[in-house]
Structure 1
Amino acid sequence: MEEVLALIEKKKQEFAKSGLFEFMRDTSIDPRQRLAFAPCVSPFVMSFGEFNKYVFREEPTNDPLQVIVNNHTYEDDHHWLWFLQDLETLGINRSVKFSDALNFLWNEETKASRWVSHQIFRSAFGASPTTKLAILEVIEATGNVFFSTAAPIAQELRTITQQEFLYFGCFHLAVETGHTTGTPEVDQLIKNIQLSEETRQEAVKIVDNLFEVFTELTDELLVYAKTHSFEQPFAKPWDILQPLKAA
């Protein structure tokens, strides 16, 4: 498993160079605009809670690796609640028609968020505990890059609004870095897992694929943040420009 973990670390460093994170670190941009993409990650965030409850978790089990997976799922299956609270704090929770909300969640602008969810489900459903651990390691790696970049933005917003941000802020980052799978004992146990050549190849293929779709997601989020105002997150770019042209 150590070879797979080394690949994940390599891919993580490449993932961290995504244009989205450069955009998020640009303090010349209003911090609210740097999180203007927040609604777009809804399909993934809301699905992730269910992945933990119904796909990654298997109970009862006597498999020590599945026990590790199960423990991890109990730490991650409720983070969507923090996301909903942050949407409210960001002022994104405005009234929209139900049909408009459905159209937003299933249109081209959120396609990558849905696709990440589909690929995780495809890879994890019915998989062995070893494969599930590899998938969780990818999710943790990409999440660490994202939340490490988002936390300073949330801190800026906290100073401006005097309100806490749980999902995008330091609170979530601290929880992610404090996972039981991040303890030295568990890390060493995972590293010491012996993989057959077939399992190793499968894990490498999954790791490559998931990093690819997570990168596609960051590309999608960057486009959205650059073309949508945080003040009108659900408006089409041309809807915003029309009044300006008329003026």
Structure 2
Amino acid sequence: MKEVLELIQLRKEEFAQLPLFNFMRDQSIDPKQRLAWAPCAAHFVMNFGELNKYFLRVEPTSDPLQILINKHTYEDDHHWLWFLEDLKHLELDKSLKFSEALRFLWSEETETSRWLTYQLYRYILQATPIQKLIVIEVVETTGNVMFSTAANIGKELKSITQKECLYFADFHLAVETGHTTGFPGTEEFIKKIQLTEETRKDAFELVEKLFAVFTEFTHSLLIYAEKHKIQQLSNAA
């Protein structure tokens, strides 16, 4: 499994240089605008809890890897609550008719967010614990890039509004370590997992496919953020 983790780390370094993250790091752009993609990500974010509960988690189980996965899902299944709070904080919590909200969530411009969710369901549905572990590692790795970048924006916003974000903040980053969580020594435990040549080949292929869908997702978020100009935040009174 060590070779698989090394490939994930390599792809993470490439992922961190994608245009979305360069946009998010650009301090010449209003910090609120750099997070203007948040509504576009809503379908994925709001599905993430149920992805953990109903697809990654399997109980009861005696499989040590599945036990590790289950522990991780209990950490990851409630972060959408923080996302909702930050939508309010960022003044992105628009009032819409129910039909308008549904139309937005299933619109063409949010299609890639839905597609990412469906691809993760697809890869997890009949997955072995090893394959689920790989999905989690890629999700955590891409999340670590996203939230380490977003947390810096959250700090900028706090200096302007005197209000602290939860989802786009160090608070969230602290639990997005970039690796599966569960118990001390988890990373070493995972590295020592022995894979057959065929399983290793399949694992490499899965890593590449997952990074491809997350890369496409970031492109759609950037397009949304650049298209939707939002009012700048003013200094707190």
Q: What TM-score do the two structures reach when normalised by structure 1?
A: 0.90
Which aligned pairs between 1:159-238 and structure 2 lie closer than 5 A?
159-177=159-177, 181=181, 185-231=185-231
Q: Deviations over 1:162-217 (max 9, x none)?
A: 11100011100012129762866111110111112222222222111110111111
| 4+ runs deviating over 4 angstroms | none
Worse-superposed segment, 127-136 or 191-200: 191-200
Which aligned pairs between 1:1-247 and structure 2 lie closer than 5 A?
1-177=1-177, 181=181, 185-231=185-231
Question: Do the aligned residues in 2 keep the contact of 1:72 with 1:179 (CA within 8 Å)?
Answer: no
Deviation of 1:33 after TM superposition, in Å, equals 0.4
Question: Do the aligned residues in 1 keep the contact of 2:116 with 2:217 (CA within 8 Å)?
Answer: yes
3-state SS, counterpart of residue 92 of structure 2: coil
Amino acid at match of 2:201: Q
The residue that corresponds to 2:235 in the other structure is none
RMSD (CA atoms): 1.6
CA distance in 2, matches of 1:180, 1:205: 20
Deviation of 1:13 after TM superposition, in Å, equals 0.7
CA distance in 2, matches of 1:213, 1:178: 18
Worse-superposed segment, 43-52 or 100-109: 100-109
Amino acid at match of 1:87: L
Question: Do the aligned residues in 1 keep the contact of 2:137 with 2:180 (CA within 8 Å)?
Answer: no
Worse-superposed segment, 93-102 or 179-188: 179-188
CA distance in 2, matches of 1:184, 1:220: 37
CA distance in 2, matches of 1:99, 1:191: 48
CA distance in 1, matches of 2:219, 2:29: 18
- Structure (1 or 2) with the greater helix fraction: 1
CA distance in 2, matches of 1:33, 1:19: 15
CA distance in 1, matches of 2:29, 2:151: 15
Deviation of 1:107 after TM superposition, in Å, equals 1.3
Question: Do the aligned residues in 1 keep the contact of 2:140 with 2:179 (CA within 8 Å)?
Answer: no
Give the fraction of aligned pairs with identical amino acids, expressed as a percent.
61
CA distance in 2, matches of 1:24, 1:229: 14
In structure 1, the gaps of 5 or more residues are 233-247
Question: Do the aligned residues in 1 keep the contact of 2:142 with 2:178 (CA within 8 Å)?
Answer: no
Worse-superposed segment, 76-85 or 223-232: 223-232
Question: Do the aligned residues in 1 keep the contact of 2:179 with 2:187 (CA within 8 Å)?
Answer: no
CA distance in 1, matches of 2:206, 2:115: 14
Question: Do the aligned residues in 2 keep the contact of 1:71 with 1:180 (CA within 8 Å)?
Answer: no
Question: Do the aligned residues in 2 keep the contact of 1:142 with 1:214 (CA within 8 Å)?
Answer: yes
CA distance in 1, matches of 2:142, 2:49: 17
Question: Do the aligned residues in 2 keep the contact of 1:57 with 1:69 (CA within 8 Å)?
Answer: yes
